[in-house]
Structure 1
Amino acid sequence: MKLSIRSTLLILLFLVLLLAIVLNSVLGHLLVRHEVNEVFDAELAVSAKLIKGILSEGNLEDDLPRISAAMNESFGRVQPDQPELEAYERTRLIQIWRKDGNGLLFRSPGAPDHALAPLRAGFYHHQSSSNEWMVYVTDLPTHDAWLMVGEYPHARHDIIRELGGIFGVSGVVALILCTLIALAAIEYGLSPLRRLGSRLRRRSVDNLKPVRLHRTPKELQPVVDGLNDMFSRLSSGIERERRFIDDAAHELRTPLAVLKLQSQHLQSLSPQQQRDALSELERGTDRASQLVEQLLILARMDNTDRIPVAPADVTEAVRRTLASLQWQADEHQVELTLDADDTLPAVAVDPALIAMALRNLVDNAIRYGGDRQRVETRLTVEKDELCLSVRDQGPGVAEDDLPRLSERFFRAQGSPSADSRQGGSGLGLSIVSRIVDTCAGRLQLRNHPQGGLEVTLRIPLQGLSSAGPGEG
């Protein structure tokens, strides 16, 4: 069974209050008993000293009976019109023993014939199977005897018990009142949480705006901040998905329509025209496949912030990527060159991302650099950065278009159209830019002084390995 925060707090506070009240009652009872005993012991000592003072100058046989009767009359009788004093009725017991212990010189009515306490000065609590009494013992030097004055402790016990009952009742009342106050305080303290829950329940599913609460408690602020952060990330994710769907629908509509139109007219064409149309259909399906692949890559990259890396041989990854693009270069009679430092150490980057970025850069350079040209690739380490640059020998790009080349589906003025043989999807540099962002790097684009467009990736090195690329 899961308890609510309200129930948990109420139970804990109730237990704490109960413990505090029980401790207070116990300590109060002990204090009351101590104080009551002190008061009664003081009265007992005063009575003994009073008797001692009288006997020190009088005759023992003549004065003791009269003193005993007077004390019992004074301490043991309550006036009929004062019944509330009944608890304070006390009967004094008096004994006088010789100091050598060989004889009982005097005992008051009701006192036993054995000693009430040891024959030593002080207070004593004597208890037998049938009786209990408190005794004060002092000496009578003029009579060479011990004076014992005692009383039954029922009056003490009654007062202590009555005060203990008062403490108990007041403790129960205090516990009930404190519990009610604690419940009200808990309800008030949890009201911001209820308001937050109410606002969240009333929200529509598409409302991802930040939550705002009036006077948010410090303890609840991390929850509100966490919710707002989650709403922000959800909003960004939904926006990325919406953008992906819009981009995909927009870019796939035209090539699919062209493919459909071409396939519908195949039957009406001559054999040679059919062969040309089939070749064009094949190129169209290739472009559509490439577009879908790039859109999926962008979608995956949009959902990735950082990728775990390990030291890898980037030079070898670049060589393999260029080798895989050689067929495309041969088709356009383009020469692919690589300038890489053979002593470049293994660096902590993801070689798959580097290969993906290089593939898009070289593909763009082959498409837009022109046939029978050269595409130069350069790989170096400069100032703790991995630098990968690709340069074509084409006409370059207008300076105004350079900042927009990494935008999705942007094509520079004068670039081939999407349905031409060289036409691209406008996503290549967007993918490269997203890869660079994932690697916390920079993307630089410029028109090279000797002609052509040069694109450079600068990725900070997260760690270097002492092993060279050829070492295991």
Structure 2
Amino acid sequence: MISLRRQLLVTVLAVSVVATALSGTLAFVRARDEANALFDYQLRQLALALSDRPFGAEVPRLGGVAGFDFVIQVWDRFGVRRYYSHPHRVLPDRAQLGFATVPTSEGNWRVFSLARPDQVIQVAQPLRVRQRLALAAAWRTVAPVLWVLPLLLLAAWWVIGRGLRPLDRLASEVGQRNPEALAPIPLSHTPEEAQPLVAALNALLDRLAAALDRQRAFTADAAHELRTPLTALKLQLQWLEHADSDAERRTALTELAAGHARVMHVLEQLLTLARSEGAPIAHQPVDLARLARDVLATQAPLAEARAIDLGLDAAPDGATVTGDATALRSLVGNLVANALRHAPRQGRVDVRVTAERDGVLLEVADNGPGIAEAERERVFDRFYRAADAGEGGSGLGLAIVQAVAQRHGATIVLDGADLGGLSVRVRFPLPASGD
């Protein structure tokens, strides 16, 4: 599990440690350079101070702490060494004028040699002395930071905790809500950085509230719609039980089978509508002309039983839309089934699929009674039936058509047909370039 508090603390600790290490390194390098420049100046000044002493004069021992002494050598003009302040030191017997770093068995030494007419003076110092002093100077610079580092980390822990406290309050507020509390979370006391998250959460709550409202309405409508056919089934069963003759029993069985078919049809439509509104659709190319041809093949027996002329006028090169083939099959099937149900015997139902410049047009027209213009908006409501809709319908066909069309970005227009009945036009947009 990802912890913002832990990540921030680790980041602050890492940055503090790296910054301390860099500052310590820079302090050491700077202190070493300054110490080298200072000690070079001291070597030169000491050599100049000794240059005016007469040859053979007693040269006092300089320094007194082991490891910090200067080592002095003096040669006369003939190259004979006249003075050596520390005979035990291992330094070269010849002097290189000016500054030089000389490697010896005791480590590297910094040497300055000065030539005078009657003598040569050499002053030397071990480099480890300079390094020790540079390290001490760097430690004095870094030590306060190291002492303050724990306080900085403690302050960072407190500041981070205080900064994340609004998120804790937000999590507590959301956690204490019951499943029915879908009111938006107020943004007044929400930090600016968390407002996009809260806004997205509020949008999700709005969608959940709308989905729950649709579910409640759907459940209520379904319960109301199923009550009538189930009651009819119960009465038909009672009629069957009390039938006195074979003819009455056959009639009761016929009515019972028809009632069962109506209930199954309503249930299938309810399931189709639920899938059309809730399940995600696939984004695949679908040949709408071929799909319509398959649907008409399955509906042909019903058309033949009522002597209805069922025809298809489809583009020869196909008409491709982007979407879910199963959902689109349900859309075409419901439109054709509605047209066949409302067309009179020996009537006519025409299906046309046309590829247009800005999309694909599906049109289903019949020569039935049509729908009054005042009712054309209401027929998309669940379980709504027009006054002249007749028997056999569930009132869900056009609701399913609208749900599928909306999810595919299509528009639906109801109009009078040239055949005299109703024309339903569904216009699909062109497939996206990436599909």
Task: Tell me if TM exceeds 0.5.
Answer: yes
Shift in Å, 1:442:
1.4
Match of 2:161 among 159, 174, 187: 187
CA separation of 1:353 and 1:24: change in aligned 2, threshold 3 A = closer
Worse-superposed segment, 257-266 or 176-185: 176-185
Is contact 1:326-1:336 (8 Å) kept?
no
Q: Identity rate of aligned residues, in percent?
A: 32
CA separation of 1:404 and 1:236: change in aligned 2, threshold 3 A = same
- What corresponds to 1:447 in structure 2? 416
CA separation of 1:114 and 1:167: change in aligned 2, threshold 3 A = closer
CA separation of 1:99 and 1:233: change in aligned 2, threshold 3 A = farther
Shift in Å, 1:354:
4.4
How big is each residue's C-alpha offset from its partner over 1:169-216, in whole Å with a ceiling of 9 and x where there is no partner?
A: 323113222222322232233233323322222222223344344465
Q: Calculate the TM-score normalised by the size of structure 2.
A: 0.85
**In structure 2, how many angstroms separate the alpha carbons of the residues matched to 1:397 and 1:114?**
119
Shift in Å, 1:161:
5.1
Is contact 2:73-2:83 (8 Å) kept?
yes
- Is 1:31 the counterpart of 2:30? The answer is yes
CA separation of 1:336 and 1:251: change in aligned 2, threshold 3 A = same
CA separation of 1:335 and 1:35: change in aligned 2, threshold 3 A = same
How big is each residue's C-alpha offset from its partner over 1:218-243, in whole Å with a ceiling of 9 and x where there is no partner?
A: 65445434434443444444344333
- What corresponds to 1:336 in structure 2? 309
- Is 1:302 the counterpart of 2:277? The answer is yes
How big is each residue's C-alpha offset from its partner over 1:411-446, in whole Å with a ceiling of 9 and x where there is no partner?
A: 123433xxxxx2311111111212222332111112
- Is 1:47 the counterpart of 2:46? The answer is yes
**In structure 2, how many angstroms separate the alpha carbons of the residues matched to 1:186 and 1:60?**
74
CA separation of 1:311 and 1:362: change in aligned 2, threshold 3 A = closer
Shift in Å, 1:404:
1.2
The one-letter code sitting in structure 2 at the alignment partner of 1:460 is: P
Which runs of 5 or more residues in structure 2 are unaligned? none
**Larger Rg computed on CA atoms:** 1
- What corresponds to 1:345 in structure 2? 318
- What corresponds to 2:148 in structure 1? 174
How big is each residue's C-alpha offset from its partner over 1:434-461, in whole Å with a ceiling of 9 and x where there is no partner?
A: 2222332111112336632222222234
- What corresponds to 2:82 in structure 1? 105
Shift in Å, 1:15:
2.3
Worse-superposed segment, 398-407 or 128-137: 128-137
- Is 1:123 the counterpart of 2:96? The answer is no
**In structure 2, how many angstroms separate the alpha carbons of the residues matched to 1:131 and 1:392?**
109
- What corresponds to 2:114 in structure 1? 138
Which runs of 5 or more residues in structure 1 are unaligned? 78-86, 417-421, 465-472
- What corresponds to 1:261 in structure 2? 235
CA separation of 1:268 and 1:185: change in aligned 2, threshold 3 A = same
**In structure 2, how many angstroms separate the alpha carbons of the residues matched to 1:192 and 1:21?**
32
Mapping of 1:28-107 within 5 angstroms? 28-52=27-51, 54-55=52-53, 59-61=54-56, 64-65=57-58, 68-69=59-60, 72=61, 76=63, 93-101=71-79, 103-107=80-84
Is contact 1:334-1:375 (8 Å) kept?
no
CA root-mean-square deviation:
3.4
The one-letter code sitting in structure 2 at the alignment partner of 1:442 is: T
Q: Calculate the TM-score normalised by the size of structure 1.
A: 0.79
Is contact 2:72-2:123 (8 Å) kept?
yes
**In structure 1, how many angstroms separate the alpha carbons of the residues matched to 2:4 and 2:145?**
26
**In structure 2, how many angstroms separate the alpha carbons of the residues matched to 1:3 and 1:435?**
40
- Is 1:401 the counterpart of 2:375? The answer is yes
Is contact 1:48-1:147 (8 Å) kept?
yes
- What corresponds to 1:291 in structure 2? 266
- Is 1:9 the counterpart of 2:4? The answer is no
Is contact 1:25-1:171 (8 Å) kept?
no
SS of alignment partner, residue 82 of structure 2: strand
